[in-house]
C-alpha cells in the first residue's frame, strides 16, 4: 500500500472516530439544552397567561408537539508537500472533522371545544388526590383549587376579572392553616373511602379525610371541626364534590377549574401604579374607600412583582405591557404554587386531540 492510500485510510478512521465522539458530546449537550428550553418556555407561557388574565386579555396556549434535529457532518483534508531538489517530496495530510445539529420544534395551538372544556371543568377528586400524591400539601391545593368547603368560601369573587365586592377569605385561610398543622404532625390522612363502592372505569374516586385519635385532643382539631361544622367524634369524614351542603360526617368540596385558579392567582400580579391610574386594570374599592390589597389575601400563596428593567433574580419572567413580570427565585411559596398550577394543568389539559394547524420553527445555527 502506498503512502497516500495509507493516509487516506487513516483519515477515514479518524473521521469515523471523530463522528462518534462529536455525536456523543452533541447528544448530551443538545438534550440538556432542549430540556431546559422546553421547561423554561412552558413556565413563561403559563406566567404570561396569568398576566393576560389580570389585564383582561384571553389566555392562549401553544403545545410543544415534537422536537427533531438534523445533523450536519463536515470533513476536510489538507495536503502539503515539501522536499529538496532531486529527492522524493514528503507528503503531509491533516484531516479535520466537524458536526453540528439543528433542532426544529413543532408547536401546536391548543384550541377547540374539548380543550376549552378541560380548562373550564372543575378539578375532580382524582386529580386532587394525584396532586397530593405528587407531594403538594393539602393547604396549598385547597387554597388554589377549592372555592369553598362546607360553605366556608375561599374568595370566590377573586376568580372574576372585576369583582364588585371584597372577597371573603379569612375563615377559609384559617381552616387551611389548621389542616396544614394537623397534616404536619401526621394526624391527618387523605385516602380512598373504603366504605364506598369501587368507581366505574373512568369515574371519579370517593375520598375520605381521617384524623388520628391523638388529634381529637388538640386545639387545632377542635377549631377546625367547629369552622367546618363537622361532628367531632367521627374522626373520619367523606369528601364529596358539591356546590353546597356538608357538615356532620361529610365534607362538601366545591372545586375550581384551571382557568378559575389562574384568574384567582392573577390577583397576585403587582400592577404598576401608572397602569392602575390609567384605568387599564380594574381597582376593587374596600368599604373604607381604599383600594383592596390583593397581596394581603394572597400572602404566602402567589406574588408576581413588576418592574421596568429585566430582573436578574427571577425564577421565571416575561415582558408584557411594557413591564417585566416575574416570580422571585427567593419566593419559595410562589414557586411552589406555580409548580402546583403547572402540574394540575398537565393533568387536566392532557390528551387534547391535535388540530390541523401546526407551526414548525427551525433554530438557526
Residues 6+ apart with CB under 8 A from 217: none
User: What is the pLDDT confidence band of residue 192, given thresholds at 50, 70 and 90?
Assistant: confident
**CA dihedral sign, ordered 47, 268, 284, 227:** positive
Q: Pairing state of beta strands 236-241 and 90-110?
A: unpaired
> In terms of pLDDT, which residue wins out, 350 or 328?
328
pLDDT of 327 reads 97
Burial of 300 (C-beta count, 10 Å sphere; 0-12/13-18/19+): middle
Range 262-265, long-range pairs (CB < 8 A, 24+ positions): 262/49, 262/50, 262/53, 262/59, 262/341, 263/53, 263/158, 263/159, 263/160, 263/161, 264/144, 264/155, 264/158, 264/159, 265/50, 265/144, 265/298, 265/301, 265/302, 265/337, 265/341
Per residue in 111-159, pLDDT (tens digit) is: 667 778 888 899 999 899 999 999 999 999 999 999 999 999 999 999 9
> In terms of pLDDT, which residue wins out, 22 or 167?
167
The C-alpha atoms of residue 48 and residue 41 are separated, in whole angstroms, by 10
Per residue in 255-303, pLDDT (tens digit) is: 999 999 999 999 999 999 999 989 999 999 887 888 899 999 999 999 9
Judge contact between 182 and 221, C-beta under 8 A.
yes
Tell me: pLDDT of 360 over 50: no
Edge-to-edge strand order for the sheet containing 250-255? 152-153, 146-149, 250-255, 236-241, 207-211, 188-192
pTM value is 0.78
Q: What is the mean pLDDT of the chain?
A: 82
User: Could you please report the per-residue DSSP string of 60-121?
Assistant: -EEEEEEEEEEEEEEEEEEEEEE--TTSPPEEEEEEEEEEEEEEEEEEEEE-SHHHHHHHHS
pLDDT of 193 reads 72
pLDDT of 261 reads 97
The C-alpha atoms of residue 176 and residue 227 are separated, in whole angstroms, by 11
pLDDT of 274 reads 92
- Say what percent of the chain tops pLDDT 90: 55
Judge contact between 51 and 318, C-beta under 8 A.
yes
Grid coordinates representing 335 are: 414557586
pLDDT of 359 reads 45
Amino acid at each position: 500500500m502506498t503512502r497516500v492510500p495509507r493516509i487516506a485510510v487513516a483519515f477515514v478512521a479518524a473521521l469515523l472516530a471523530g463522528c462518534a465522539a462529536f455525536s456523543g458530546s452533541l447528544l448530551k449537550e443538545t438534550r440538556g439544552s432542549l430540556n431546559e428550553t422546553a421547561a423554561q418556555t412552558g413556565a413563561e407561557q403559563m406566567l404570561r397567561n396569568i398576566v393576560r388574565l389580570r389585564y383582561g386579555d384571553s389566555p392562549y396556549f401553544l403545545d410543544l408537539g415534537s422536537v427533531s434535529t438534523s445533523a450536519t457532518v463536515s470533513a476536510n483534508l489538507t495536503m502539503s508537500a515539501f522536499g529538496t531538489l532531486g529527492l522524493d517530496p514528503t507528503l503531509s495530510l491533516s484531516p479535520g472533522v466537524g458536526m453540528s445539529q439543528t433542532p426544529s420544534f413543532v408547536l401546536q395551538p391548543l384550541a377547540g371545544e374539548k380543550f376549552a372544556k378541560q380548562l373550564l371543568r372543575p378539578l375532580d377528586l382524582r386529580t386532587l388526590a394525584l396532586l397530593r400524591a405528587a407531594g403538594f400539601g393539602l393547604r396549598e391545593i385547597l387554597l388554589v383549587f377549592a372555592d369553598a368547603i362546607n360553605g366556608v368560601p375561599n374568595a370566590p369573587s377573586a376568580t372574576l376579572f372585576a369583582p364588585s365586592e371584597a372577597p371573603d377569605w379569612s375563615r377559609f385561610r384559617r381552616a387551611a392553616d389548621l389542616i396544614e398543622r394537623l397534616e404536619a404532625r401526621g394526624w391527618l390522612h387523605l385516602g380512598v373511602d373504603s366504605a364506598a363502592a369501587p368507581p366505574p372505569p373512568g369515574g371519579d374516586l370517593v375520598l375520605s379525610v381521617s384524623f388520628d385519635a391523638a388529634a381529637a385532643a388538640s386545639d387545632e382539631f377542635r377549631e377546625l371541626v367547629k369552622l367546618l361544622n363537622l361532628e367531632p367524634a367521627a374522626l373520619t369524614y367523606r369528601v364529596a364534590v358539591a356546590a353546597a351542603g356538608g357538615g356532620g360526617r361529610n365534607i362538601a368540596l366545591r372545586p375550581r377549574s384551571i382557568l378559575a385558579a389562574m384568574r384567582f392567582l392573577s390577583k397576585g400580579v403587582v400592577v404598576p401604579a401608572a397602569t392602575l391610574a390609567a384605568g387599564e386594570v380594574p381597582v376593587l374599592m374596600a368599604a373604607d374607600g381604599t383600594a383592596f390589597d390583593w397581596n394581603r389575601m394572597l400572602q404566602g400563596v402567589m406574588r408576581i412583582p413588576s418592574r421596568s428593567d429585566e430582573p436578574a433574580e427571577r425564577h421565571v419572567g416575561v415582558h408584557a405591557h411594557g413591564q417585566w413580570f416575574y416570580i422571585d427565585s427567593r419566593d419559595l411559596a410562589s414557586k411552589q404554587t406555580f409548580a402546583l398550577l403547572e402540574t394540575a394543568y398537565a393533568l387536566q389539559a392532557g390528551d387534547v386531540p391535535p388540530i390541523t394547524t401546526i407551526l414548525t420553527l427551525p433554530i438557526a445555527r
